[in-house]
Chain A
Amino acid sequence: MRRCGLLTIVAALFVAAPAAAQVDFTGEWGPLYHEDRPERMPGPELGDYMGLPISDAARRAADSWDADRVSVVTQYQCRPHSSDYGMRGLGNLRVWRDINPANQQLTAFHTYMPAWGSERTIWMDGRPHPPAGIEHTFQGFSTGTWEGNTLVISTSHLKTNYYRRNGVPSSDKRTFVEYWTRHGDILTVVTVVDDPVYLTEPLVRSQNWFLDPGQVTLPMSCEYVPEVPGPVADAVPNHLPDTNPYLTEVADWYGLPLAATRGGAETMYPEFRLKMGPPHAKPPAHCERYCVCSEQDGCSVNPPRPRR
């Protein structure tokens, strides 16, 4: 019996071969909206495609967007963020993991984000991605590997969704790779999206969370409710090409060149500043919209100006 115990221990040593680097990402993470906060919290302005390497097809689709679509078309009412946009959008985040009790190896990470109760699995056990014809979902299929202390996640099998929730579309042919890195209590996640339909270059964005053990993520329910009176059968609110009257608002409100707001890969690079041209209209003398937008002071369109 005693010999058997020894053999078991030695066998366990061999079975529990050292895994690649493993950093613990588990816990409650509070989002740090210090970048693009007005876009991510109250929501983006119509016609704002700045910094997105979108194709002409994406721009055309976004120009046709009418926000009433969310009120009228039930398919849009409770449409969750997909996993790529979810990391950019509303993101209180809980991470937990599965450990195989037999060998104590990491099998999977799971994430939960309250927006539409999105739950996601990131498989760490080396399984392959499913064949191309398998069902696409909002969260997609994710597998992870380690590069040093960085968790690298590859995701495929995504449904169509959006890069910015003002109608900039993402296709179901896109895939994305994430790089999760933890520095003390700060988590940085870089997302790199490839989309042969709606992007002309990979879209690279990075976002940050802080470890917040006291965070309690809440459940979210979404119900389909007719928000607009009267019959709207088969109606999908939209703007036909070149008829959307709201596309210059964002340039005018913030004193920007119109070319910048239209997006495209060239708007991502510093040299675009030399060719983007003058503001579309005379810039306001002072910020007028979402000027103060932070955890402490909220985010309203026209906050009171401080007393001098």
Chain B
Amino acid sequence: MKSAFVAMMISALPLLGFAQGPPGRGGPPQPPRSPREGAPVDLTGYWVSVVTEDWRWRMVTPLKGDFAGVPINPMGRQVGETWDPAKDESAAQQCKAYGAGGIMRLPGRVHITWQDDKTLKLELDSGTQTRLFHFGSEAPANTQPSWQGYSVANWERPPRGEEQQNAIPVFATRTGLRGRSLEVMTTKLRAGYLRRNGVPYSDKTEVAEYFDYRKHPNGDEWFTVTTVVKDPVYLYNPYVTSSDFKKEPDGSKFRPTPCEAR
């Protein structure tokens, strides 16, 4: 009787989708798919930032001393109060507001392409900046700090994987869980600005980003990037924003402009 029960259980599993193993199970070993081939969503193309939030901190340079919304600590405020765009210009520091800690908040357009099978490239017309998202490779030891730092990317997966992994599948399923988000961790940053009015972030800053693609009911394609800026020097807590981008049919409105300090 016990063996009959086991047989019935085993025979039932394929019907329930429990037996779906990783691709290639049962056949010859397959080479792992590259990040490009395995992309669960297509983020490539031209996108425009649609500024419905934080308008007066993004579309214009805010007034000096305006820190509203940022969990900035007293030291950060003190540094922010010294903001002097003329000094930044004379020191060739006009791009301080265009680093990875703040650039996705600036109004502009983004062109996303695959540089190779493991590297996603974001070109931003605001400040003529380029970000490279490296899949599966840590920052080389000799990486020098830069405005865009070094970004490591992954296609985010649920904490316990996407497929059935429970020891006793009868009691819980995980079928159907599919990660769709692009997770990006950026380090090796030069100190920069969260906002164009000199709200600072330090060179100790780390930035986590989650890119989520979706198609709206009217057919428009969008992505939202949730950005978590962690700065142990100038912030009380991580600074969390989410910025929305709409896909455009082509690059006709993509116009690179230089960094501006004011």
Contact = CB atoms under 8 A, between A and B. Distances in A.
Nearest to B5: A6
B55 A18 contact: no
Interface stretch (A110-118, A211-219, A229-237, A282-290): A282-290
Interface in B35-85: 40, 48-56, 59-60, 62-74, 77-78, 81
A285 B43 CA distance: 41
Contact of B71 (A16, A290, A294): A294
Nearest to A40: B69
A21 B181 CA distance: 14
B55 A204 contact: no
Interface in A27-49: 32-38
Contact of A305 (B81, B107, B179, B216): B81
A177 B63 contact: no
A108 B181 CA distance: 25
Given A9-B170, A18-B173, A254-B56, A35 B65 contact: no
Contacts, number: 223
Nearest to A177: B217
A90 interface: no
B240 interface: yes
A212 B167 CA distance: 30
Contacts of B108: 270
Nearest to A294: B71
B13 to A, nearest CB: 8
Interface in A257-276: 260, 267-273, 276
Interface in B4-43: 4-5, 8-9, 12, 15-18, 40
A243 interface: no
Interface string B159-188: 000000000001001011111110100000
Give the 6 A-B residue pairs with the shortest CB-CB distance, closest first.
Answer: A18-B175, A270-B107, A206-B242, A287-B66, A50-B55, A37-B69
Interface of A: 2, 6, 9-10, 13-14, 16-23, 32-38, 50-53, 146-150, 152, 177, 179, 181, 183, 186, 188, 190, 192, 194, 202-208, 210, 254-256, 260, 267-273, 276, 283-288, 290-296, 299, 305-306, 308
